Amino acid sequence: MRESFLHFIWQFQKFSNQSLTTHDEQQIQVYSIGSYNTDAGPDFLNAKLLIGEITWYGHVELHLKSSDWNRHRHQHDEAYNNVVLHVVWENDEEVHMANGQILPVLELQDRIKPELLKKCNQLIKSPEKTPCLSQFDQVKDIDKLSMLEQVGVMRLKQKSEYILHLLAKNNGNWEETTYQVLAKNFGFKTNEEPFLKLSQNLNHKILMKHAQKLDQIESLIFGMAGFLQDAKDDYGLALSKEYDYLSKKYKLDDLSLKKAEWKFLRLRPGNFPTVRLAQFSSFLAKNVKCFDQFIHYTDSKELRIMFDFKVSSYWQEHYDFSKKGSRLTKKIGKASIDLILINSVAPLLAAYAQYTDEENYMDKAVALLQSLPAEKNHIINGWLEMGLKANDAFDSQSLIGLRNDFCLKKKCLSCKIGVSLINS
């Protein structure tokens, strides 16, 4: 038995409501279940219930056992003062509100059909990573599409919350935050953490003072990344000399990363962190301030133009200091640009929408994802085998979110696909 099962039962009223009464035999009539609360506080807000002869407007809290009310210390939390009904699987203990009043309780364990519990357990206890795998073709397309739309927006909001967290740490500086988000995504998962750390140690304001000066930006980026200590060729030594001067000027000596923090293993030379750092340096030299461009663009072509740059001539022939390579790309690839737009620009738009409370920026974030091709990875391929195709990046982001946030966590009772199977 899980509390999420009780949420499902209450939300869809999947229990016998004949002679519905509280623990002390007061008649209950449900006019409105309330709205499901995903934040802190009671589980369902602003319900409308008739208990006895009084109509109540308030919140509903759900627990497996009534004693959980005290165990969770709700009796000391003002957020729960307006709870009008305690819905539980088992009423094992009388509990009181903060004012000493007994809390009305509805016990459900004898009001639920065993078949319903069996269906839920078949999904939740499935050994498959996608619990509904064997039943997926029974789900209506409209339920699948509705869930994907919900998850796509939810994923954007999750990413935007991370950006708003960074924004708070940066004292509301959107330009600094945009620079850090971009840095993280230039690391492309494998090196996202050292990239982010570098951007947090190397203030964006410093780079702004060296706009359009690629050699100076490269010296700061590679010096802070810890790659200039072993540089021995002419180019590396020139960057090292420049960095020695700039690091003393800006007091950066104790903030540089160690070379060991960067990952090279199982990466192709074109994806080496050194190459990505060179690309990031060239992007910054061309677009040292880009927040306004990201937020107020009118056509996605404007965004792509920002990434139309060549790395410096040295990195057109090298994949590390003193290490030459053939067939090295002079530009950042289209697929890489798409990933940066998906993981940086769209979430920035969503974060700005939440920050300004202007929904048109969220619409713009969704539209941007819908204009980009779907991502290609094992998760998308898995859904394709089940007959669910991603037509664009919004779809692929939705499918990734569905897999990671619902399927792997067995949150079938919060998924429209799982609910449709249980209700069938």
Tens-digit pLDDT profile for residues 93-121: 999 988 888 999 999 999 998 888 888 88
Is residue 290 located within the same domain as residue 313? yes
Point out the domain boundary residue: 289, 315, 332. Answer: 332
Is residue 180 located within the same domain as residue 324? yes
Residue 245 exposed, middle or buried by CB count within 10 Å (0-12, 13-18, 19+): exposed
User: For residue 356, is it within any domain?
Assistant: yes
Distance CA 419, CA 424 (A): 8
pLDDT of residue 331: 84
Mean residue pLDDT of the chain comes to 93
Give yes or no for a contact between 332 and 279, defined as CB atoms under 8 angstroms apart.
Answer: yes
Distance CA 417, CA 414 (A): 9
Distance CA 356, CA 231 (A): 46
Is residue 101 located within the same domain as residue 219? no
Q: Nearest-CA neighbor of 300 among 343, 364, 354, 352? A: 364
Is residue 321 located within the same domain as residue 188? yes
Residue owning tokens 């069938």: 424
Model confidence at 222: pLDDT above 80: yes
45: tokens are 């807000």
- Count structural domains, the chain: 3
User: For residue 198, is it within any domain?
Assistant: yes
Instruction: Quickly list H helices, 357-415.
Output: 359-370, 378-385, 393-402
Q: What letter represents residue 399's amino acid?
A: L
Q: Is the CA virtual torsion 49, 55, 60, 66 positive or negative?
A: negative
Is residue 98 located within the same domain as residue 144? no
Listed in sequence order, the residues at least 6 apart from 10 whose beta carbon sits closer than 8 Å to its beta carbon are 33, 43, 44, 60, 62, 87
Listed in sequence order, the residues at least 6 apart from 25 whose beta carbon sits closer than 8 Å to its beta carbon are none
User: For residue 78, is it within any domain?
Assistant: yes
pLDDT of residue 214: 95
Listed in sequence order, the residues at least 6 apart from 68 whose beta carbon sits closer than 8 Å to its beta carbon are 88
Instruction: Quickly list H helices, 12-140.
Output: 68-71, 114-124
Model confidence at 40: pLDDT above 90: no
pLDDT of residue 194: 98
Q: What is the pTM of this model?
A: 0.85
pLDDT of residue 38: 83
Q: Which of 79-88, 94-103, 216-225, 348-357 has the lowest mean pLDDT?
A: 94-103
Point out the domain boundary residue: 304, 332, 360. Answer: 332
276: tokens are 């990505």
pLDDT digits (tens, 9 = 90+) for 342-367: 999 999 999 999 999 999 999 999 99
Mean pLDDT along residues 204-225:
95
Distance CA 156, CA 395 (A): 12
pLDDT of residue 125: 86
User: For residue 123, is it within any domain?
Assistant: no
Is residue 202 located within the same domain as residue 316? yes
User: For residue 185, is it within any domain?
Assistant: yes
C-alpha neighbours within 13 Å on the C-beta side of residue 74: 26
Model confidence at 326: pLDDT above 80: no
Distance CA 200, CA 12 (A): 47
Q: How confident is the model at residue 123 (pLDDT cuts 50, 70, 90)?
A: confident
Q: Which of 248-252, 286-290, 328-332 has the lowest mean pLDDT?
A: 328-332
- Helices 273-286 & 192-201, crossing angle to 10 degrees? 40
Q: What letter represents residue 287's amino acid?
A: N
